[in-house]
Each structure stands twice: as C-alpha cells, then as structure tokens.
C-alpha cells in the first residue's frame, strides 16, 4: 500500500519517510506517545508502509488469534539468511508441520530434565563470581547473556558443546547487529547484496554457525546414542501422520532458531529484573529469602517450582521491559478492527511495551511491583494485557523453558549474592530486535553469608 487515505487518527509524518525519523529516535517514547495522544488505534506512515498501532488488549487478541488474516508476512524473510525456515521464519504448511514436531520437545516433562544443565551453567558463573574481590562490580548484562547462551547451547547440544560457546557468541553478535539493521531499513536490505566488509563479516558469521551446528549434528548421528537434550528430542521427533523426521538442513534451521530466539530474550528479561531489583531492596530481600528456602540442596525442577515469587519478579520485569517489544503482522485481506476497516497489505503493530504501560489496564504503570503477579491479583486480568510471549498459534514455543531458566538462574544468584546499584549508573532501554539495556548494567556484588543463605 502506498499512502492509504487516513482512516484513523495519527501523526501527520513527513513526505517519503513518514514517521521513520521519530521511530529511529526515542523509539519507545514515540510509541507510548502515539497511544497517549491518538488512542488505541493509530494510523502512521513508516516510509512506504501504512501502519496501524493497536493498543487495546481486545485488538491484540483479534490480531494474534487470527493468523489467516494477520500473517507474519515477508518481514521475517530478512532473518532467513541466518535462520532458514526455522519456526520463527517459516509459514504455512511447513510451519504447521514443524510446530507439531517440535512441541514434543517443549513439553514441561521433557524440559524438566534440562534443569540440572541450567543449574550447572549458573553454578559455573557463580564460581567465577566467588573468585572476584569482595565488593567488585560485575557487568550483569554481559553475565546474563553469557549464562543464557551457555544454557541455550548446552540444553540443545549437550555439555560437549561447551567449547563452542565462545565462537557461537562472536558469530551471533555479528549476525544480530546486521539483522537488526536490515529489518526496518529497505536501504540496508538492498545494500546487503553488494560486496562490503560488513556483508563479508555477516557471511563469515553464518558460515561459522553452520559449520558448528553441522558438526554437532553429524557427531550425534554418528554416535547413535539417545540423549535427553533438545537435539536428542529433535532427532527422535516424528510427524504423527507421516512418520517422517527432520532432515539435517531442517535440524540446522531449528537449532539456530532456538539458539537465537532462546538466549537473548531470556538474558534480557533477567538483566532487567536485576536492574529493577537494584532500586527495590525489600523485593530483593524477599526474593533471597525465597531462594534460600526453596533451593536447599540439589537444584531440580521440583525445587524450581518453589520459586513462585522469583517468577513474579521476572514477569514484572518483562511487563516493564518486554524482551520482544513489538509484534508485526501484515493484513492479508481487509479486516475490521475497532470499527475501522484496515486495508489489505497494511502493517499491523501490536506492542507489548505499549499495552504493558497502558494506564487503562495498569495502575501506576511505571511502578515496579511484582505483587501485580500474585495469583490473586493476576486472576481475571485480560489475557492480552500482559503478553510477553505473544499469543495465538505463533506464540512462543519456549515460554515454559524460559520460565524455568529464569527461576533457576535468578534464584541461584539471589541465594548467594546481593547485587546493588552503582551510584550514577544510568541504564536506558535500547529497542533492537529485542529490548536490551543501551549501557552496560554494572552492579556491585556482595556475598551473602552462607549460613544465612542456608537458613
Ligand atoms: C523470556 C524469554 C522469551 C521471550 C520474552 C520470548 C518471546 C517470544 C514472542 C513474543 C514470540 C512471538 C513472536 C511473534 O508473534 O511475532 C516468540 C516466538 C518464538 N520463541 Fe520465544 N521468547 C522467549 C524465550 C524463548 C526460548 C527459551 C525459546 C527456545 C528455546 C524460544 C523460541 C521461540 C520460537 C521458536 C518462536 C517462534 C514460534 C512459532 O512461530 O511457532 N523463545 N517468543
């Protein structure tokens, strides 16, 4: 659609670029202001795209639950050089088949077997922290990214993949930056086809990731042993109708999709939780007490169940800083939303960030208050007032895994350390593909008394 007529209120925008400059500036503030100023159905022009920002939870439900009409469209094609036809990027019959195949691996019972691996990764990080000088500062954002990547790699490929984590980290870093650049910029998508140092670095990064996954898959097939990690489950997965499994190429696509979709989101959720805890010592104290009580001995799935308040804290962090801060769809046919007929081909944006801060659905939306997620207060809330994992058939397949991981990692840290704010530390959100801190989040480490921790 080239410049549709005005169907709903919204900012005038400029010729050609529309509101792209505002979007690229203070992105999150811009989105919030659109809702505050123009309401729950806003029309805006982003370059050539006619977009609608929908911020009523009912509209979010309508869009996310109707995949026929509101598809993921071609935008995710930008990710295909990296992710191929993995779940995130696939569509149609291929997506349906894979989603069915993969859901077995993401059943809670299957995921419970991964908790010891998660705990081992967290324990290695904590061992390192114990060797730091008392009162030293750690880069929490970096540490959370590292531990989440360790967990993603080792729950997927097993512990023998540990030596590859560094190489995977470096390659993802390059690929991620390049993809974040391309996703909103048609110019970057065109220039990507021209030879340049950046394009070469991107190709090299992809070759590295392909090489490592191919080798790990190959080795596992050759060894022929069954293992309880995700790769083991993916290798065994069979289509209930045809009995077919996944090819090596399909395995590669799904493995890289899971590594990428799984680690950065979870790391950001945990990082924001620590940032917020730095301002809320009482909440941090309650969290530590819960961890001490629930994680007495071995950290397994059952112990993780005892970390209900920890999960409330992480959920509240994801309300304020949803790792996936906007979901984008394309209207495949004209569709009526809130009394307005959205034209076929338009872009529909549903932002967890905007809805999670919506004053009609949250009182004092900017306040950090994990009790919002106590069972009593969460009951009866609109399903789409809080939706960090999306909704409908394309919702996050890894949400239960993320919840387990966040409980285990945050709980294990809280049991052994107190993390306090550094004076003058400033942290702003930076919305790239996921919502991460713009500056490094550095915090001071204080060891908790072992005795107190065990009490
Ligand atoms: C806190 C952590 C996480 C958050 C906030 C999150 C969020 C999301 C969201 C919002 C979507 C839907 C995107 C859309 O509708 O456009 C999604 C999809 C997906 N996520 Fe997650 N995710 C997290 C962790 C994980 C983990 C741990 C994994 C895997 C190990 C994972 C794998 C996926 C996959 C494969 C999809 C695509 C599903 C499909 O289309 O069928 N995610 N995630």
Q: What is the per-residue pLDDT across 271-315, written as a single tens digit (0 to 9) for each?
A: 999 999 999 999 999 999 999 999 987 899 999 999 999 999 999
Q: Express each pLDDT in 129-184 by its tens digit.
A: 999 988 899 999 999 999 999 999 999 998 888 899 999 999 988 998 888 777 76
Would you say residue 239 has pLDDT above 90? no
pLDDT in the model for residue 188: 65
What's the CA-to-centroid distance between 32 and ligand 1, angstroms? 23
Which residue would you say has higher pLDDT here, 2 or 131? 131
Q: Which of 396, 401, 402, 405 to mutate to test the pocket of ligand 1 (most atoms within 8 A of CB)?
A: 396
pLDDT of residue 193: 72
* Mutate-to-test residue for ligand 1 from 398, 407, 408, highest number of ligand atoms within 8 A of CB: 398
Ligand 1: distance of its center to the CA of 389 in Å? 6
Q: How far is the CA of 148 from the centre of ligand 1 (A)?
A: 14
Q: What is the whole-number distance in angstroms between the Cα of residue 447 and the centre of ligand 1?
A: 34
Residue 187: per-residue pLDDT: 66
Confidence at residue 189, expressed as pLDDT on a 0 to 100 scale = 64
Which ligand 1 atom is the nearest neighbour of the CA of 90?
40
Give the chain's mean pLDDT: 91
Query: Which residues have C-beta atoms less than 6 Å from ligand 1?
Result: 87-88, 99, 257-258, 261-262, 265-266, 269, 323-324, 327, 388-390, 394-398, 401-402
CA 299 vs. chain centroid, Å, equals 24
Q: For residue 281, how far is its CA from the centre of ligand 1 (angstroms)?
A: 31
Find the 398 Cα to ligand 1 centroid distance in Å. 6
Q: Which carries the bigger pLDDT value, residue 273 or residue 219?
A: 273
Q: What tens digit of pLDDT does each residue of 348-374 get?
A: 999 999 999 999 999 999 999 999 999
Give me the pLDDT at residue 177, please.
Answer: 83
pTM of the model: 0.94
């Amino acid at each position: 659609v080239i410049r549709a007529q005005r169907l709903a209120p919204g900012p005038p925008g400029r010729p050609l670029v529309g509101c792209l400059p505002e979007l690229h500036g203070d992105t999150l503030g811009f989105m919030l202001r659109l809702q505050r100023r123009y309401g729950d159905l806003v029309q805006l022009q982003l370059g050539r795209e006619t977009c609608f920002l929908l911020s009523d939870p009912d509209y979010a439900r309508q869009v996310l639950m109707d995949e026929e009409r509101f598809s993921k469209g071609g935008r995710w094609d930008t990710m295909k050089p990296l992710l191929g036809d993995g779940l995130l990027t696939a569509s149609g019959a291929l997506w349906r088949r894979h989603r069915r195949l993969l859901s077995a691996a993401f059943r809670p019972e299957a995921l419970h077997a991964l908790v010891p691996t998660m705990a081992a990764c967290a324990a290695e990080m904590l061992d390192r922290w114990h060797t730091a000088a008392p009162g030293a500062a750690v880069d929490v954002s970096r540490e959370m990214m590292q531990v989440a990547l360790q967990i993603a790699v080792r729950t997927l490929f097993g512990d023998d993949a540990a030596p590859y984590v560094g190489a995977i980290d470096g390659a993802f870093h390059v690929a991620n930056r390049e993809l974040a650049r391309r996703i909103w910029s048609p110019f970057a998508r065109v220039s990507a086809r021209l030879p340049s140092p950046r394009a070469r670095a991107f190709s090299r990064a992809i070759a590295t990731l392909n090489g490592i996954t191919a080798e790990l898959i190959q080795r596992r097939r050759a060894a022929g042993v069954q293992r309880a990690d995700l790769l083991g489950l993916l290798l065994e997965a069979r289509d209930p109708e045809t009995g077919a499994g996944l090819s090596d190429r399909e395995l590669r696509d799904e493995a890289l999709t899971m590594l990428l979709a799984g680690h950065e989101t979870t790391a950001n959720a945990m990082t924001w939780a620590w940032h917020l805890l730095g301002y809320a010592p009482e909440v941090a104290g309650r969290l530590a007490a819960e961890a001490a009580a629930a994680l007495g001995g071995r950290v397994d799935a059952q112990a993780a169940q005892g970390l209900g308040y920890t999960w409330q804290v992480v959920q509240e962090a994801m309300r304020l800083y949803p790792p996936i801060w906007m979901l984008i769809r394309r209207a495949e046919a004209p569709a009526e939303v809130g009394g307005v007929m959205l034209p076929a081909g338009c872009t529909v944006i549903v932002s967890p960030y905007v809805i999670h801060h919506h004053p009609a659905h949250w009182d004092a939306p900017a306040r950090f208050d994990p009790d919002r997620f106590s069972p009593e207060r969460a009951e009866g809330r609109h399903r789409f007032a809080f939706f960090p994992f999306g909704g409908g058939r394309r919702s996050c397949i890894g949400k239960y895994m993320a919840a387990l991981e966040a409980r285990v990692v945050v709980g294990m840290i809280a049991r052994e350390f107190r993390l306090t704010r550094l004076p003058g530390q400033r942290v702003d959100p930076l919305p790239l593909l996921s919502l991460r801190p713009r500056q490094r989040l550095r915090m001071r480490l204080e060891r908790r008394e072992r005795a107190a921790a065990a009490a």
